[in-house]
Structure 1
Amino acid sequence: MEDAEAVVPGRPWRLGPRATRVFDLVFAAALVLPAFPLVVLIGTTVEPLAFSLLQTVPLFWRRGHPVAVFAFVAGASVLQAATYDMPTWGQVGFPAALYALARFGSARAGWVGLFVGLCGAATASWVWTSAQFAQYPPGLEYIDYDLGLDDLSPYFFSIAAIVLAAWALGTQGRIRRAYEASLVERGRRLAVEAEQRAVLAAAQERTRIAREMHDVVAHGLSVVIVQADGARYAAEKDPAVAVRTLETVAAVGRDALTEMRRLLGLLRGSDDPALAPQPGLTDLPSLVTEHDRVELDLPDPLPEVPDGVALTVFRLVQESLTNVRKHAGPSARATVGLRSAAGALEVEVVDDGHGAAAAGTSGLGLLGMRERVEVHDGTLDVGPAPGGGWAVRARIPT
């Protein structure tokens, strides 16, 4: 789980809920309060104060209701343009409301806000410029002066730049927040997927160990039983044979116990270097010495194959010889052959026993053999051999 947790990106630092509310309160208050002293200093009527409050007070709720706040502030700006032809302090509320709309609202709402802001920039430029020219005394030669682009452009571009900046900053903030959220969600999904992969890997490892346990126990016990029966019959006629047979039983039992300890070490997660290594091709002769009437045909030198392929071949031969001893009959003979050809390793175990009568071997043993071979993209053919007996043939790419 440490690797799974490592892929989860840390959330970016942000204000907490309480700090966010305090920040919104302070920011809105910073825009509302200056309206009172400015009206007193300028000495104008109450209209600028009223419009300033209408355009700034709603900013207290801009984060939770960005669309409604922008609509209210924009409506107050339109009302001001229609009734009061001079700028007021409250104009600072419009870019703040537009930023909140682009930041906390949807992308479509942000585009609508930008369009309204540019229209407002054009309207404000016309109204304020016309008001300035209307204030000149009558009778001057420029009293009938027609407004042109040169007169409107400074106002329009200045206001439009503020509108664009507010919209761009809000949009960038919304995009960044969405990007950060997607990264956090992706990290969460990766963590879940990593945990699921770990669970699947553990299940596959348990299945592999179960196959190993089956092979070790079935092989070891079958050899011990056969050798013990032989020793019991031989003890009556030739005690020396019984002694050698019992030595074989003891050796097989010790080997099986060693492998059992290795597998139990895997289950416990032990890293003990003294555990026995995985058996391979070089251990095949030990299987033949444990079985009477078995011939082994191996190439010299043995081919170099991956450890997983070597273990699969060893377990395949081990399980096949166990089935020969259990199902082929007491007098059956078997041949184990190994060949390397065309980038693959071919293994064959053929006996001359009961043949089709051994069909009862299609249990966990054959299922385990097939699974082992298919893991390496190999093929397994199990069935009656020509002329009687039973054959197990596998081809494993190397």
Structure 2
Amino acid sequence: MEELVRPWRLGPRGRWWFDVLLAGTLFLIIPFYAVQAMLDGGAAQDVSSTDHVVDLVLVIIQLVPLLWRRRHPVIVYAVVASACGLQVLLLDYPLVSQLSFPIAVYSVARYARPRWGLAALAVGVFGSFLGAYDWMSTVDASSGGTQGGINWSTYVSVVLSLATFPVAAWALGALARTRAAYVDSLIERNEQLRREAEQRAELGATQERARIAREMHDVVAHGLSVIVVQADGARYAAEQDPALAPKALETVAQTAREALAEMRQLLGLLRDGDTLTRPQPRLTDIATLVEETRAGGMTLAATLPDPSLAVPEGVALTSFRVVQEALSNVRKHAGPGAAARVTVTADGGSLEIEVTDDGRGAAAEETRDSSGLGLIGMRERITAHDGILETGPAPGGGFRVYAKMPL
């Protein structure tokens, strides 16, 4: 899965220097604004040194807190709003540093909880009414009113103009906060999908290792059981009839070579870059398995389906392994001289497998169930294909393995 590209954002150091530049720019504009006011107003503006001190203090209180507007937006807003309130009470003219107020509103809407942003917006709108009233109460008669009076139509226009700043700042801040939350949710979702994909890959690898382990068990158990039986037969033949020993030893060698080849094939799956070069056992290979078992000395009858019968590869492999494991169990647990029967039929959209023997039956049932992974592996294979597996003593004696899988 491709990793989601994160949008470009300023780092902690970049954000700090941006806030320093913002506050510093506003602070540097003030001297030019003061000079221009003096040139425009001249001596008509009787501004004392005390007024300059008050202006400077208010400017500092309004601008310096902006340096911490991201980490403590609510506190910074409270300080800036208080300074703007003092300005309304102490001065009758605006300051350039008042631009810090919409910046503070934006910061609250962007970095604080939504309810704090709404509270900042409400205070900003209320401040627009209060500031417009305070400043317009000093308008002279030439502007359409009387000294100390207010032209209400102009007052409404001024209120709307002033309110535009906090409203726009709040809207931009809320939009930025929503967008950041949306992008973060996309990134988190992408990370979650990536973790889930990795977990599925690990689970698939675990299941594949378990499958290979079952295959290894089937190959080794079947091969070694045949080798042991043939080796015992060769030892007996060497003592009684030496002419039979070479045939038994040939069967041992052939079985060992086949088992070794299958083990190499399975181990190759665990190496990166190796592929399966030998086809998996098919339904027709059960006939070969039966012949090998008969060659090992077991009395075995078999009823097998038409070789041209087409079944899914997974079902064919499972059928072969079930018969292989069942015959291995017959050799190991049924006792000497036990005979077996293998029946594989396909009818009604399902494949049925039955392996029975006339050996020790119930006496060996506990041993078969606890001897290892044989019956457990059978059940896992059958369950994977939505089939059923029945194992236990046969009605007339011996042991029975029955499996049924849908086609």
Fold equivalence (TM over 0.5)? yes
Match of 1:305 among 311, 314, 331: 311
Residues 346-375 of structure 1: per-residue CA shift (max 9 Å, x gap): 111111111112211113211111111122
**2:312 partner letter:** P
Instruction: Judge which range, 117-126 or 380-389, deviates more.
Output: 117-126
Residues 234-263 of structure 1: per-residue CA shift (max 9 Å, x gap): 345555543333322222111101101011
What is the distance in 2 between the residues matched to 1:146 and 1:126? 10
What is the distance in 2 between the residues matched to 1:201 and 1:339? 32
**1:330 partner letter:** P
1:87 CA displacement: 2.2
What is the distance in 2 between the residues matched to 1:116 and 1:379? 73
Is 1:262 aligned to 2:269, yes or no? no
Is 1:349 aligned to 2:355, yes or no? yes
**1:172 partner letter:** L
Aligned partner of residue 341 in structure 2, secondary structure: strand
Q: Is the 8 A contact 1:36 1:49 kept in 2?
A: no
Residue segments in structure 1 that go unaligned for 5+ positions in a row: none
1:281 CA displacement: 0.9
Structure 1 residues 350, 162: CA separation in 2 closer, same or farther (over 3 Å shift)? same
- Please tell me the root mean square deviation across aligned C-alpha atoms, in Å: 2.4
**2:196 partner letter:** E
| Greater relative contact order structure (CA < 8 Å, 6+ sep) | 1
Match of 1:243 among 242, 246, 251: 246
Structure 1 residues 88, 260: CA separation in 2 closer, same or farther (over 3 Å shift)? same
1:217 CA displacement: 0.8
The aligned residue for residue 80 of structure 1 is 87
The aligned residue for residue 287 of structure 1 is 289
Structure 1 residues 297, 238: CA separation in 2 closer, same or farther (over 3 Å shift)? same
1:86 CA displacement: 2.5
Aligned partner of residue 85 in structure 1, secondary structure: coil
Aligned partner of residue 354 in structure 2, secondary structure: strand
What is the distance in 1 between the residues matched to 2:145 and 2:221? 113
The aligned residue for residue 369 of structure 1 is 378
What is the distance in 2 between the residues matched to 1:334 and 1:142? 118
Q: Is the 8 A contact 1:344 1:395 kept in 2?
A: yes
Is 1:389 aligned to 2:376, yes or no? no
Structure 1 residues 142, 370: CA separation in 2 closer, same or farther (over 3 Å shift)? closer
Q: Is the 8 A contact 1:35 1:53 kept in 2?
A: no
1:324 CA displacement: 0.6
What is the distance in 2 between the residues matched to 1:353 and 1:153? 106
Q: Is the 8 A contact 2:353 2:402 kept in 1?
A: yes
Is 1:18 aligned to 2:18, yes or no? no
**1:196 partner letter:** Q
Count the aligned residue pairs.
388
Is 1:33 aligned to 2:28, yes or no? yes
The aligned residue for residue 339 of structure 2 is 333
Is 1:172 aligned to 2:136, yes or no? no
Identity among equivalent positions (%) equals 51
Residue segments in structure 2 that go unaligned for 5+ positions in a row: 39-44
**1:269 partner letter:** D
1:62 CA displacement: 1.5
**2:78 partner letter:** A
1:128 CA displacement: 2.8
What is the distance in 2 between the residues matched to 1:131 and 1:377? 90
Structure 1 residues 266, 55: CA separation in 2 closer, same or farther (over 3 Å shift)? same
Instruction: Judge which range, 149-158 or 32-41, deviates more.
Output: 149-158
What is the distance in 2 between the residues matched to 1:145 and 1:77? 22
The aligned residue for residue 184 of structure 1 is 187
